[in-house]
Structure 1
Amino acid sequence: MHRNRQSAQVSLALLIASAITLGMLVLTIVLIGQSFRGMETAKVSAASATAKQLAISVDDRIHSITAPPSTALAVLSHDSLAGAQTLAGRLERLPVFADILQSSNIVSAVYAGYANGDFILLRKVRSSGTLQFPDAPEATRFVLQTITHGPDGPPGEWRFYRADMQLIKRMPVPAYTYDPRTRPWFETAAKSEMTELSAPYAFFTTGETGITLSRKASPETGGAGTIFGIDVTITDLSSQLAGLRQTPHTRIAIVNRDRQVLADSGNRNNPGPAIAGALDQAGEDIEGSPVNQFTAEGRDWYGMTEPLGALQEEELTIAVAIPADELLAEVWQALARQTVIAGLIALLLLVLGWFLGRQVGRPLEHLTDQVSRLSRFRFDTPVRSDSHIREARQLGVALDDMAKTIRSFQNIATVLNRGQDLNNLLRDILEQIVHILGQERGGIYLFSRQQEQLNLAVDQCLELPEIISGLPADSNDNEIIRLLQNHISGHPVFAILRNRNKQLIGVLAIEMERGDNTHLSDDLIVFVDEIAGSAAVAIETRELIESQQALLDGIIRLVANAIDAKSPYTGGHCERVPKLAQMLVNEAIASDDPFFGPFSMSEEQLQEFHLAAWLHDCGKITSPEYVVDKSVKLETIHNRIHEIRTRFEVLHRDAEIRYLNRVLQGEDEAVADRERQQTRSRLEEEFKFIAHANQGSEFMHEEDIERIRTIGQQTWLRHFSDRLGLSPDEKQALQDVPEPALPATEQLLADKPEQLRFWGEHVPPVRKDDPRNRWGFDMELPEYLYNRGELHNLTVAKGTLTEEERFKINEHIVQTICMLDALPLPDRLANVPRLAGSHHERMDGTGYPGGLTAADLGIPERIMAVADVFEALTAVDRPYKAGKTLTESLEIMDRMADEGHIDRAVFELFVRSGTYQRYAEAHLHPGQIDYVDESLFMKPD
């Protein structure tokens, strides 16, 4: 039997090697094909995306070209130059033209055309990087071209100026007969009140490609019929397009609706058939893409076009043509590399598979003789394998462990009886018994007395049914085995597990492989029964212990979940703090830092700490929900801002009534209306201020507090009794307050006596001198239980809670300690009240409820405080703040450590160990997890 199993294992090793090789080849071929298709598609998609980005870039460039000159032209239209009737008068304003030219590299000329045909133009000598007037005198920066009709000057004249507008030379040009009135820019601007933009064209004098912006002079200048113009060059677009090419021979061009090329990455005068193919969308369309594939100039091309938003009347289009061989060159290179690598890997796997097959066979043959001795129950035979094959070596070790396990049966039974966790215990029992019998598969069922069924607890490779039902509790062993045989195939051996009272608690099933072991000897059966009996006792003991522990944990989680469920803004706090605290305790135990060197915790201490962490806020069950959830200053059971809004509405309506009464009485309606509008505006602004103050989102300054009090002094008339429809609590608060006569004058905002709630007989024992205080509390008690005065609440300087409400929230620690101290906890859990109730103490002694210092607090208490603070800072379910990022939270905690709020050593362990990061990955939103420079929080010794 053993020889057959070993032969199968050797064949399996060879089969795995062959299967891996074949699978690798198939996978490689598929991946290479998919990779090529994916890279080809990605390249085409990238080309299409690039075309879209090119269109955006060119649009931005055209807009950047036209915007500054347009602004300059708008200013120029109001210049006195428009009304100058003589050349001398026009020359006085020549510096204005020079300033415009010097302010922009793309403005090549500034000019003005007059209604009588006069013309004056100032042009740069060098434009678009080219010297436009090579015959100009040296040091010439500007050329002035003028046409003047009349005795004031020659009809045509050119003047050459330096950069500082000093005249160098005058030159009559009789042949210069340019008439601005016949030019499109003049005619278009003369009919419009706006700045007009021409289509791109070649300039009259320089031949550069550009556009003209023209605008009619303002009437206030006295220059009726005068038109100003600015020439802007766009010849640099071609050089920019050449720099944006994806491949060396990519063609990019910009054309208008007449397919006139305005800019080209190559030859603007001859863009070639590639651009024409892209514009015509020749060839075949690429499915799912605006790209088309065509042939031109003896090459395959990918073409695409995108409309431009600039100069919409010209319907400009950008066309891109990319050679297919250049676009896919990297794809073919990657395909070749992948093919070579795949071939080398396949060859290596073949050689490795052949080598492993030989290595597996030899040690298994050697183990056959040794295993045959164990099959005859000679457990004193050592099993060794010196093979370098892991499986063969592990098999030898496993067989040797089996022999040792059987020899030490009594010791194993003792270890099983001492198991702590039931699930781990069941796995250990099954594993040990399977090893003892030299098998590999088995399972353990536990009996459910209420449901009269067997539930699968552990299954080791046997694929057992999860539930076997229809089993009465008083069934004998033979009936149980017959039922099991109906549900479990193969050759299993069953051991019935019964407790000390002979009650059924479970069944052990082990699959015996075909061979000699299907016929068990009497000695082996007794051996299995003895182990099963020990296992049954261990299972019974652990079930009792774990059921008690589960009940305790269930009650604790019930309380914690009830606290979290009580408020939608703190949901999960009582669950997250224990997890974080446990993580930090584990790091403190494992730390080699001298501060934590002697620190350790036993299993009972860890359990005590775990319970305290879960119950650290159990006192919140007594905290009023509307105080815990208070998100605005005026909130009680509801947000009282609505009552105040109603009062403002009353004053708003009173202003309307006053206005109408004054009009009816014959007063000046305009004066009355102005007073009404002023009153309304003031009320609206004051209510906005009150509503903003109600949110409590930022620190309130003293002048803001005083303004609230001033606003509140306004009065309104109440015509209805405030003693109707009250609750008993409200009636009691008003019993000593006389009811005023109606109509009663009320302040807009007020602190009223009936808004106070007194402690009465319910004063908590938190003062140090209180004889009931046996827990060492040391807290300051507010004068009132609650103060719901509107001014009192609205003038809270920071946050939304009043002094009374802040105490009520802090009192949850007092209630936590009192509640836990009242429980009959065993000695091993005696520190639970202290551990749970000290997470708001501070290292400097200013915390609560006991005012303890660092000397009074152990490492567990300090850890609990750090965990509570970090969870509160990062929580996203609080009404008064947003969840902070990791860096923000750690910066705040770093300051708290410096101020003696939390322990510095525990905080640095929290950062150094990466606990904050692991917690964040499990519980924080991705947006809160940012990069943290941990060195910022490590203080030198």
Structure 2
Amino acid sequence: MHFHRQSAQVSLALLIASTITFGMLVLTLVLVGQSFRGMENAKATAAADATHQLTVSVNDRIRAIIEPTSVTLTLLSHDPLTRASSLDARLQRLPVIADALRQNDIVSAVYTGYDNGESFLLRKVRSSGILHFPDAPQQAWFLLQTMTLDDTGTRIGEWRFYDRNLQLLRQERRPDYNYDPRERGWFKAARTTAATHVSEPYVFYTTRELGLTLSRQAAGAADNINSNGSVSGIDVTVSDLSRQIADLRQTPGSRIAIINREQTVLAYSHPDRLPARTDQEDPLYHLEEIPDSPLPMASGLADSERAERFTLAGEDWYGMTAPLTTLGPEELTIVIAIPADELLAEVWSALARQTGIASLIALVLLAAGWMLGRRVGRPLEQLTDRVSSLSRFRFDTPIRVDSRIREASKLSIALDDMAGTIHSFQNIATTLNRGQDLHTLLGDILDQIIHILGQHRGAIYLFNRGNGELGLATTHNLEGPKTIPDIRPDSDDSDIIRSLRGPFSGHPVFAILRNRKKQLVGTLIVEMEDGDLSNISDDLAVFVDEIAGSAAVAIETRELIESQQALLEGIIRLVANAIDAKSPYTSGHCERVPKLAQMLVAEATQARDGVFRDFQLSETETYEFHLAAWLHDCGKITSPEYVVDKATKLETLCNRIHEVRTRFEVLHRDAEIRYLQDCLAGGDQAGARTRRDQEQRQLQEDFAFIAAANIGGESMDDDAVARVHQISSRTWQRHFSNRLGLSAEERRAFAAAPEARLPVTEPLLADRPEHIEHWGERVPPVTRDDPRNRWGFDMDLPEHAYNRGEIHNLTIRRGTLTPEERFKINEHIVQTICMLDALPLPDWLSNVPRLAGTHHERMDGRGYPCRLSGDQMGIPERIMAVADVFEALTAVDRPYKEGKTLTEALGIMATMVREHHLDGDVFNLFIRSGVYREYAREHMKPEQIDEVDEARFLS
């Protein structure tokens, strides 16, 4: 390596600047931390002050609720109502107490209880926005509940409903109303004092509201002057306390509650978060019942001058408690919990500002330290030497800078070399990891190695184990032979290098490529033209050898991947060919459908307008579709051949029409025998002959009809079906046992019924129990409610696996397949999905089962096996369906139909589009692109290829 000469240099001492800056940063952090702690404490103290102020505010609000009501109650204790002894006299004071209710929204009821157990109570029908008496008249505003005694001392309860102007709306006796004020706590408490008594907060029985009861003896009751011992009371609701304390929150996330000594919640700042209650439940909540609330932990904190910090569910809170003194003996407490992040939001903002200022100061100090330390740089020489030790080869990344500082200059050179080395290794790693094609991979590897070494020519040879020679795989401006023969696979590296020196002159460097098993893979050759060619260092040789080793592993891996992919492709084609070879009537189907489908996909990806303008498949998706197309019918390998190839209705493994014909032969011969017997008996020969001829002629006609029905070429109408049943009712006699010469499976079919006594009379055609093959334990998981169905199949499952009944088969309305056989054929798609789903496919091939298993679905959701609609299928799946239908219509190797012409096939497919069987957009693309003509020229007979009027089918 050559170092650029520079003029005299001075030292650089970054250490000084770093030390100064670090010291200032530590000092700044300490000061900021102390500042944060101080602000945090100040915030906590301020929160406690705010809590005590909140307590004062709540006390004031409670006092504002109680004091006006207490004044009203005092006035009421002097009212004539307290001394009225009759209901009429009391009713005259109704406007007075009605005014008390109208003028104060928080007053729920005003009432007076008398010493004899009578009572006079006026309440609002609607309070706190809630209608408490749903059966009240529509205009009702007040409800007067009275309890009086008649002359016999009988208690009479009455309810009167009044409108806002005290017009009576309805009056009714209430035998169930048996209110006795003397039994109430407010009555008893008021009798013990001459002052106003305030009850503890509780839930009103009638309205279920939270409130207080203020009660007071009638004026003069304490001295027994002009008083009958009555007590007046006023119910005051405190339901809006929750809303009021919500308005007093310090932060949006603060939680506030007012509780009593039993920790019952009387008010809560977030009432919408309380769990729902039924009508029968106590509407009051215990503090522990509030979900996800920090208040239970905060309630355990003692009242103090500052907030205390605690953690709940990973979130920090500040908690405080303070007593409420307004209600005296009730011992109410206000509990507050404030989220730490909200309380300290301003603290963090101030901390951020201080940190910014400290950072700016640190930058200024760094610049000053940098200027001061420029003259001191000796400690950096060791670091420079270490970094320079990495710089053994030349890399061309331009990082070098000119400097009068010796250490900085040497460091820039080392970093320049190191950066170039790292960059080159990155290129090598990218090439090894991302290379797909082996030839391209080898070319990229060679280019990178030549670039790393700073040379211009090189080549890679791969070993051919079969020929025992090295063949040229790729070259970069290096002239050499195409092959190097006589290379043994067990040769060591030195022998191989000696064999290579002959064809290559100059100063080449050789690296032998071996795989993980140390087997010979090939060789790398680099012509060394630049640098000191007389003394190639050992470090260079080791470096080239290590790079070559990585290249060998990459080559081996790529060859393995390509061979595995080729193996997978071969197995897929093997399965497809096996399916086609299984039946002579479907040969070529599994090969033709993929070709047609891929032709359509290619046209869809090239479309620049319409629904396909944005349709594109990546290379991986294209290969995934290719595999799915080849495997779209792999489930047919499980379909019984005699069902797939069933050409007549009575065909199973053989055509059972011959068995039926034998029975007709027996009946024909029986007619001949009866004729001869009549002749021998001396009967009327002419009449016997006529009967014989008529019977035999009918047998000929009936058999001809049955034989024609067996073909299944035309659809059967009701008359034809009825004639089959009529013919089947004819009987014949069997003289031989039907239990002899049977297989084990056939014997099991007969096991359910005993053998009939011979000879036995049987119908000419019959559906017998032995014709039924039950599912047993082989029920396929195709119904939605089957717990084994994890693929979403939704098919109609026939009652039996097979029904080979003769009448059942001969009365097939169209074609030759029974519903059971049709299901068995359709089941091939179920087996396709199950088989492919069972394969350990990689993630990038995970859609193969779906792509292969949806070509029998319909756009209207009436297809199978999952009843998917068009919206649930992608373009590749719709293309597969079109390709499968067109190939099936035009194929000439089916036993049950002839191949259609192009016009016939496209006409049928156009009808299927109108019936929402096939996708119209794919069908239009199929016609416009001319794919159908291209396919026809290669795979259809000339007589099938007619002139097509494309406009007739395009929509």
TM-score normalised per structure 1: 0.49
